[in-house]
Structure 1
Amino acid sequence: MRNFLVCDGGGTKTDFLIFNEKAEILSCYKCTGTNALFIDEEKAINNVIGGINKCVAKAGLRINDLDLICLFIPGFEKCIDIIKRKINIKNIKCLSDVENAFFGAMGKSYGIVVLSGTGSFSIGISKSNRKVVSGGWGPLIGDKGSGYHIGIMCLEKLAYYYDNNIKDSRLRELCLEKFGIDNEFEIRNIIYSKEFGREDVAEISKIIAQAAKEQDNDAINILKKAASELVELVSILNRRLNNEILPVSLIGGVANIGDLFINFFKDELSLKCPNLYYEDPKYDPLIGAMLYVLLKEANIDIECDKDVLSNLSKYRRI
């Protein structure tokens, strides 16, 4: 029986999972961040090595019992050679977190996945395995429809309220309360400080979500604009995939706003891309990493294999 270890790593948390070719989970382990773009490289390497060793020990295995280690960690490719030397394993790979996010959401090898978190991007894979990507350009020239973009639109609206002496707004009230200020002009001291970063801007999307749930029209329109921008990413992929009939899933922190935002996305999707259809995401990225390895590395049909399907049915869906 072949055994595999996968790792889904980010800037703040990392998950490890050992499983076999039947998709039976043998052990799992969680630790802090491993994305070497955001944390110290040596710390990231030590976290990965520690996570691998502890996950292997929990499974009652040895490193040599693993047929493959596959790390889905952005910015970690340059660290692989060091990992190989320190734990004496040759069959180890590093991929971006796009691949496992896709397989987690779709639960299969084709479809279109849109991720809207702090940033945004979309990936599409046809039934003939043609892959295309749109978005992911970062906050200066992209990230439309992301939490960051929603936060920026909110800040722009606050400036508009101040310049036009508009006081009657639930969105305005929630923002002033959240930042602990008396008027919009004071927010400049907060957002232009060195401590206020991209993630802080993205956090403002939660205020928009709350205001929209309380029927604030400006907040609702901001969310509709964000949903439209995300569907535009899908439209680009749709054209490049020759309007193939495919499922679409939306994942990430903005999707966690819930049905309010997802319904805006669905409405825009049916309007702009009638050949596509929405599906709720199936699994988290860690299970997505497992599915990727089973299909791409172990050559197991994850849509037809009875053992795999039986075991997948036991795991929590998102």
Structure 2
Amino acid sequence: MSKFHYYGGLEGGATQSKFVLYRSDGQILAWSKGECTNQWLIGQDECCKRIHKMVETAKQTAKLPADTRLKALGLSMSGADEEESQKQLIAQIKSQYGGDCEEVYIASDTWGALFTATPAGGIVLIAGTGSNCQLINPDNTSKRCGGWGHLLGDEGSAYWITQLALKTLFDHDDNLNICPNSVEKVRDIMKDYFKISDKVGMLDHMYSKFDKSNVAGMCKHLAKGAEDGDQLCQHVFKEAGKVLARHIVAVEPAIAQSLLEGEGGLHVVTVGSVWKSWQFLKPGFLEVLTAERPGRRIREVTLQRLKQAASVGAASLGARAVGFKLPLDYSANAEIFFHGKM
């Protein structure tokens, strides 16, 4: 019998998923990929089936016996915030695919991202197509701000930045709110990206043919405009930096004191393509975070980006759930791109 135990971790997204298989000495044995595992989009049965397939593929790649059971399976998944649905998913995995693992642990996608970068806790701040902020304290208490979708949230996201740029253009042309900067670069980006001849063409894209991801895709072209020196493009990213920092301020009262006093101060794990434009987010971000406010507690912050998939953190969480500390090299999993005292 092998002296090792095995642990699995899944980063489950609304588009694709990634699974990692660990040996108990911290060695990665295999990776596998799969499709969407958001149960609200594909149903619980299909979700469980896809998870099982990735586990099986990873075991085959690692050349483990087919009957090998993982000590724990950690799932960090989009659409896995609600406790009752977590219980149902765990019960179904154990019932239908009990040969895969002994125990199952489920958390939302933000948890896997955070515990890939640090074992202690901190904040995950997502700014991709959408946005979300999640504080997780060392005792597993948590506080969330955002993540409510493009109609009720998503501030600071790629969609939000695009929408702000477009709204600024429309309002300027309508003489409703005159923009102090030229809107012509944004106009050109809009026409080129959406393949339209004028603003009227945007109505299809924002209403009858609306696709949030497609609209958000214009953001990378706005980022290029900012790099080229366009002031309006730079302005919308600065505004995004402000509102992303406000997410942190929103959860500030609930932050455990130990997270503020450790080396590097408060650690924020950033996820999403918007953070690639940090140089343009930074002025607004620091303006908000350094401003004096009632109850201000944050005086030092470290921003990190992942170098490894959030599956790693999911595996660690699964192992912790059964009382085992999976040895991870956190310095290899994430890198610091900003540190400041304020």
Common topology (TM > 0.5):
yes
Give the partner amino acid of 1:257. S
Q: CA deviation at 1:207?
A: 2.6
Quick one: which of 81, 88, 101 aligns to 2:91?
81
Q: CA deviation at 1:271?
A: 4.0
Contact kept? 1:119, 1:136, Cα under 8 Å? yes
In percent, how many aligned pairs have the same letter? 23
In structure 1, the partner of 2:20 is: 17
In structure 2, the partner of 1:174 is: 189
Q: CA deviation at 1:224?
A: 1.1
SS at match of 2:150: coil
Q: Deviations over 1:37-84 (max 9, x none)?
A: 223554433322211111122222244431111222234634443332
Mapped to 1, the partners of 2:214 and 2:194 lie a distance apart of 11
Q: CA deviation at 1:231?
A: 0.6
Closer, same or farther: CA 110–178 of 1 in aligned 2, 3 Å:
same
Mapped to 1, the partners of 2:333 and 2:132 lie a distance apart of 27
SS at match of 1:139: helix
1:261 aligns with 2:261: no
Q: Deviations over 1:175-229 (max 9, x none)?
A: 1111112221221123212x32222232222232122112221121111111111
Quick one: which of 63, 69, 76 aligns to 1:65?
69
In structure 2, the partner of 1:250 is: 270
In structure 2, the partner of 1:93 is: 105
**Structure 2: tracts of 5 or more residues without a match:** 81-85, 337-342
Q: CA deviation at 1:26?
A: 1.3
In structure 2, the partner of 1:154 is: 165
Mapped to 2, the partners of 1:87 and 1:128 lie a distance apart of 31
Structure 1 segment 275-294 matched on structure 2, within 5 A = 275-282=299-306, 283-294=308-319
Q: Deviations over 1:231-255 (max 9, x none)?
A: 1110121123277342223221211
Contact kept? 1:270, 1:277, Cα under 8 Å? no
Contact kept? 2:122, 2:135, Cα under 8 Å? yes
Give the partner amino acid of 1:54. T
Task: Give the TM-score of the pair, scaled to structure 2.
Answer: 0.79
Mapped to 2, the partners of 1:213 and 1:261 lie a distance apart of 12
In structure 1, the partner of 2:206 is: 191
Contact kept? 1:11, 1:39, Cα under 8 Å? no
Closer, same or farther: CA 19–168 of 1 in aligned 2, 3 Å:
closer
Between stretches 84-93 and 223-232, larger displacement belongs to 84-93
Give the partner amino acid of 1:290. A
Contact kept? 2:75, 2:318, Cα under 8 Å? no
Mapped to 1, the partners of 2:5 and 2:136 lie a distance apart of 27
**Structure 1: tracts of 5 or more residues without a match:** 303-307
Task: Give the TM-score of the pair, scaled to structure 1.
Answer: 0.84
Give the partner amino acid of 1:81. A
Give the partner amino acid of 2:300. L
In structure 1, the partner of 2:218 is: 204
Give the partner amino acid of 1:275. R
Between stretches 158-167 and 110-119, larger displacement belongs to 158-167
Closer, same or farther: CA 31–317 of 1 in aligned 2, 3 Å:
farther
Quick one: which of 126, 137, 150 aligns to 2:148?
137
1:110 aligns with 2:121: yes
Give the partner amino acid of 2:142. K
Q: CA deviation at 1:10?
A: 0.9
Between stretches 258-267 and 22-31, larger displacement belongs to 258-267
Give the partner amino acid of 2:242. S
